[in-house]
Amino acid sequence: MKKILILLLIIIPINVSAIETSARCAILMDTDTKRVIYSKNINEQRSVASISKIMTAVLAIESGRLDEVVTIGDEIDKSYGSGIYIQKGEKITLRDLVYGLMLRSGNDASYAIANFIDGDNFVDRMNQKAKDIGMVNTVFNNPNGLDEEAGNYSTAYDMAILASYASKIKEYREIVSTKQRLVKTNKNTYLWINKNKLLFSYDYITGGKTGFTRKAKRTLVTTASKDNMELVVVTLDDGNDFVDHKKLFEYGFNNYYNYDFLKKGKLNIHDSVYYGKYNLELKNDFSYTLNNTDKAHILFELSENPKEGKTGIAKIFVNNKVVHEEDIYASKVIKPKKKSFWSKFKLW
């Protein structure tokens, strides 16, 4: 048997303004809840150009080898297009290669990173990672997005999933939020300025990656944070991308907010009949992105015969759809033993 309790959130509806972009495909997503706030052809698979390098950066960072020195070899011979213009025999840390990859979109850096991490198997690693994090319509064929031969194909939705994942990695956030980087090697000194113009013109931006090929046209991924909410925007084939990204972020921040539904720790259910002998506990926080037209409530399903361990579940509904479920745990209340008269006397 289950004892059901419902907590309702009363939200007064207001009009939410519509918005449009010039992109072929576009998405605005909350990076924590993965709620899609704006969408336009988000599952259309297209060439994505250099925003592919987000995955290359993630794998380089997660290798745990950022401070190892890479000696550049013949792998850069196949590079063309944008680069950081490293040379054979040059010694540079993997960390600085990732800076060159993300700030200047270095195709030569991408080949050096791939060769250093896993050689010819690096692309397989990219595709496996994509599957692991839920990118179901993505195929990588190289570490950079060059598409004159076999390019990289994905969707606005999948790239938002990737950016959301990457944005939770400390080193990634540090790299993509850097406006400029001075690097010295055994052969050269470089000063790299980030190509992401929003870093210099929009206060809430936290990072991103630009991209362009003749086939993919302009592609762009950016993230921004304000008032405890982080959003990601992805646009594919958008000639007005920086303007569209700022417009989408402003739309999200002005019309949505994060609501804390559940807090980790003790859950207070005032019912001495069933739960007087137990402490109820949640092991995780949960918040969700809402706007002023949403109807939300929490439903607690609790066992009428509680035992130690899992004793119920909390379900979060937004617009009559379950968006999250969280287990409820019970532990017996341990009451201090009553002191005997002689114990109290000795203490006195």
pLDDT tens for each residue of 276-305: 678 889 999 999 999 988 999 999 888 877
More confident residue, 333 or 210: 210
- Tell me the pTM: 0.86
The predicted pLDDT at position 253 comes to 96
Correct CATH for 25-239 of 3.40.710.10, 3.40.250.10, 3.40.50.10440, 3.40.50.1980: 3.40.710.10
Average pLDDT, the chain: 90
For the ranges 26-30, 160-164, 165-169, 258-262, the lowest mean pLDDT is seen at 258-262
Q: What pLDDT does residue 4 have?
A: 58
Q: Structural domain boundaries of the chain?
A: 2-12+259-332, 25-239
- Is 215 in the active site? no
Amino acid in the structure at residue 63 = S
**Looking at residue 3, what is its pLDDT?**
57
Rounded mean pLDDT, 81-97? 97
Q: What is the pLDDT of residue 15?
A: 41
Specify the 3-state DSSP secondary structure of 194: coil
Q: What DSSP letter does each residue of 201-265 carry, written as one string?
A: H-TTEEEEEEEEETTTEEEEEEEEEETTEEEEEEEES-TTHHHHHHHHHHHHHHHEEEEEEE-SE
Residue 308's pLDDT band, with cuts at 50, 70 and 90, is confident
Express each pLDDT in 233-281 by its tens digit: 999 999 999 999 999 999 999 999 999 999 999 887 766 556 667 888 9
Which residue of the set 105, 110, 164, 287 is catalytic?
105
**Cα–Cα distance, 233 to 225 (Å, whole number):** 12
Whose tokens are 């706030």? That residue is 37
Catalytic residue check, 337: no
CB 343 within 8 A of CB 42: no
Check if 105 is active-site.
yes
Q: Please identify which of the residues 40, 47, 52, 53 carries the catalytic annotation.
A: 53
Catalytic: which of 50, 52, 79, 164?
A: 50
- For 117-168, give the DSSP string: HHGGGHHHHHHHHHHHTT-TT-B-SSSS---SSS--EE-HHHHHHHHHHHTT
